[in-house]
Structure 1
Amino acid sequence: MISLNHFKNKKIAVIGEGIEGKSSAKFLQKQGAKVTILDQKQGEGYLDRLDEYDLVVRSPGIKIEMLEKYVSRNKITSQTKIFFDISPCPIIGITGTKGKGTTSTLIYEMLKKDRKDAHLGGNIGQSPLEFFEHLKSSSVVVLELSSFQLLDLHKSPHIAVILMITSEHLDYHPNVLEYISAKRNIIKFQNSSDFAIINRDYVASN
């Protein structure tokens, strides 16, 4: 877990002016960072000075390999990675080719029914950075996680759920192996105190 002061006075580029990019920029500005949003709408060469930034926050649809042409990989992060680094409470992460949105919502509703301080975000609902200030150590965050968000994840959730995995998004991933590998990052960094729930009916999910 890192302190929010980590971002203070940092020069940060957020790549992509979509919903997630804007929420990342807003959150980081609130922490005292000097934020610039860079988007392909700004024209050719919009990434040319990327190496001048201390940190580069990519949106899910932005390929890491494209950014590595302009900046070293150790400067590249994402909203998902940032949230995993600063979350004060347990995270339940759900991924799979189909059904992850429904499963995430069901888990969230069950937690709320049990009067838990639950929050739903990720690839569904709100950006987790938007409700970060409301989180306590007793809260529980449920995140729907896509392969784009999991691709360079360096931590795993306390509870990971892997549903059916087939093949998808091959217009983004160069092959099905990278897609499956990204999905498996959800359990890659778990330890003996964490939990994994896996649909063993699908070979790729195992």
Structure 2
Amino acid sequence: MINIDTYRHKKVLVLGLAKSGVSAASLLHKLGAFVVVNDMKPLHENPEAQGLLEEGITVICGHHPIELLDEGFQFIVKNPGIPYENPLIQGAIKRGITVLTEVELAYQISEAPLIAITGTNGKTTTTTLIYEMLKEDQKLPLIAGNIGTVASEVAQEATNDHTIVIELSSFQLMGTEKFRPRIAVLLNLYEAHLDYHHTVDAYWEAKAKITANQTEDDWFIYNADQANCLKVAQETNARTFPFSTRTKLESGAYIENDWIYFKDEAIIKIEEVVYQTFENVLAAVSAAKLHGVSNTAIKNVLSSFYGVKHRLQFVKELNGRMFYNDSKATNIVATQKALESFQQPVVLLAGGLDRGNHFYDLIPNLEYVKTIVTFGETAPKMEEMAKQAGIENIHRVDNVEKAVPKAYELSAEGDVILLSPACASWDQYKTFEVRGDIFIDAVHKLK
């Protein structure tokens, strides 16, 4: 870790705890800052705050007193989930106080170069693929961010022999100032998180911060099939490297004649790749090759990687049926991506929390869907959409647990049975992980 002086003898407010806040507060304390932690959860219910108190860090719990801004803070490190409308954050901005997220701290102290990945969909899977490729080639990767360990914690342990592979959300990127990865990856840009960012442009601007400080010594990998990503690429100072699932590229990663190519070099046959979301695969291959990973290591990973849990995760084959858990698909775009991954008959399990939207945008992606099993609040809307798509086999059940045996009953040998709800889980389940685990358990109970 680089023992920087940026925060020494400076007053820093850490707003909101959870794992990132605890790590940030401890790190800033080590760096010689005068740290105050403020969290909404009362102290007697807050073991994280109690632990920081034992380290000698000032802790204020139970509310966010606006009077804290009168204490002369020079920096605020906020939990990414806290919106910028928070009165403390608004007050800090008006006073010219720098507002950061802990990934900025991670970058500032890291001896290791960073490979950073963002996008609306596919971040976790792509991050994992890159990590596994580097690991297979003995490049000493560490994984951080939204996946794995908090970035500022990982950065404290990293040396210049390591490489940190980090998944980043728009919430995290908004709070960066000097953050500069050696390799940045922008997978895709769709409309999302408008409850936080309010406008599509603001959301895309947050995502673009992944490359804002890159120079000609760095690489920016982007999706050439998306105009929004191309626009970011046109504005970066980094060397650009495109990937495309549709078009052969003179200098990029692409698919041709059932092979994956890096520039003009054939890497692996499509039929040998287990995980079939090629947008993620091409991005991962690009990052790995630019980092010097061997073709052998890349092929070994792609021929054995079945996906991340709850993200188009292969669960089991039973009597010729392939079961996939894509419970992480909490929006329409994610389900579209999942459906694009298959070219055999699909029995789709879908439904969940009703946020007021309809699902007609799924219709162009239902070419291979022969049956839909619906559940949850949006079941009627899903069924109406399926009827308009011309799907005749539509069945409603009470929940995911009952959807699995029904889907199996309606399936045939060679079918894919896919849980990809296109909805959040909160109408019936606490998290999408719980929903996915119930699906997995139900699959394993089948005879």
**With structure 1 as the length reference, what TM-score do the two structures score?**
0.90
* Distance in 2, Cα, partners of 1:4 & 1:108: 27
Q: Does 1:55 align with 2:78?
A: no
Choose the corresponding residue for 1:120, options 143, 149, 161: 143
Deviates more, 1:50-59 or 1:2-11: 2-11
Deviates more, 1:117-126 or 1:70-79: 70-79
* Distance in 1, Cα, partners of 2:135 & 2:191: 33
1:185 aligned partner:
209
Instruction: Name the SS for the 1:4 alignment partner.
Output: coil
Instruction: Name the SS for the 2:214 alignment partner.
Output: coil
Instruction: Name the SS for the 1:187 alignment partner.
Output: coil
| Alpha-carbon displacement from aligned partner over 1:36-73 (angstroms, at most 9, x marks no partner) | 21123445552322241232111101234531324534
* Distance in 1, Cα, partners of 2:163 & 2:7: 24
Cα deviation for residue 22 of structure 1 reads: 1.3
Cα deviation for residue 192 of structure 1 reads: 0.8
Instruction: Name the SS for the 1:5 alignment partner.
Output: coil
* Distance in 2, Cα, partners of 1:188 & 1:5: 24
Unaligned 5+ runs, structure 1: none
Cα deviation for residue 120 of structure 1 reads: 0.6
* Distance in 2, Cα, partners of 1:28 & 1:45: 20
Cα deviation for residue 137 of structure 1 reads: 1.6
Cα deviation for residue 6 of structure 1 reads: 3.0
2:116 aligned partner:
93
- Judging changes above 3 Å, is the alpha-carbon distance between structure 1 residues 9 and 188 closer, same or farther for their aligned structure 2 residues? closer
2:92–2:99 contact (8 Å) kept in structure 1: no
Q: What's the C-alpha RMSD, in Å, of the aligned pairs?
A: 2.1
1:16 aligned partner:
16
Instruction: Name the SS for the 1:101 alignment partner.
Output: helix
| Alpha-carbon displacement from aligned partner over 1:112-168 (angstroms, at most 9, x marks no partner) | 111112111011110122122321122111110100111142333110111021011
What is the percent sequence identity of the aligned residues? Answer: 39
Q: Which has the higher contact order (CA 8 A, sep 6+)?
A: 1
| Alpha-carbon displacement from aligned partner over 1:83-117 (angstroms, at most 9, x marks no partner) | 22222121100000010001001101111111112
* Distance in 1, Cα, partners of 2:181 & 2:152: 16
| Alpha-carbon displacement from aligned partner over 1:15-50 (angstroms, at most 9, x marks no partner) | 002221112112222333332211234455523222
Deviates more, 1:91-100 or 1:63-72: 63-72
* Distance in 2, Cα, partners of 1:179 & 1:194: 24
Instruction: Name the SS for the 2:127 alignment partner.
Output: helix
Choose the corresponding residue for 2:90, options 64, 68, 80: 68
* Distance in 2, Cα, partners of 1:44 & 1:137: 41
Greater radius of gyration (CA): 2
- Judging changes above 3 Å, is the alpha-carbon distance between structure 1 residues 125 and 82 closer, same or farther for their aligned structure 2 residues? same
* Distance in 2, Cα, partners of 1:166 & 1:107: 22
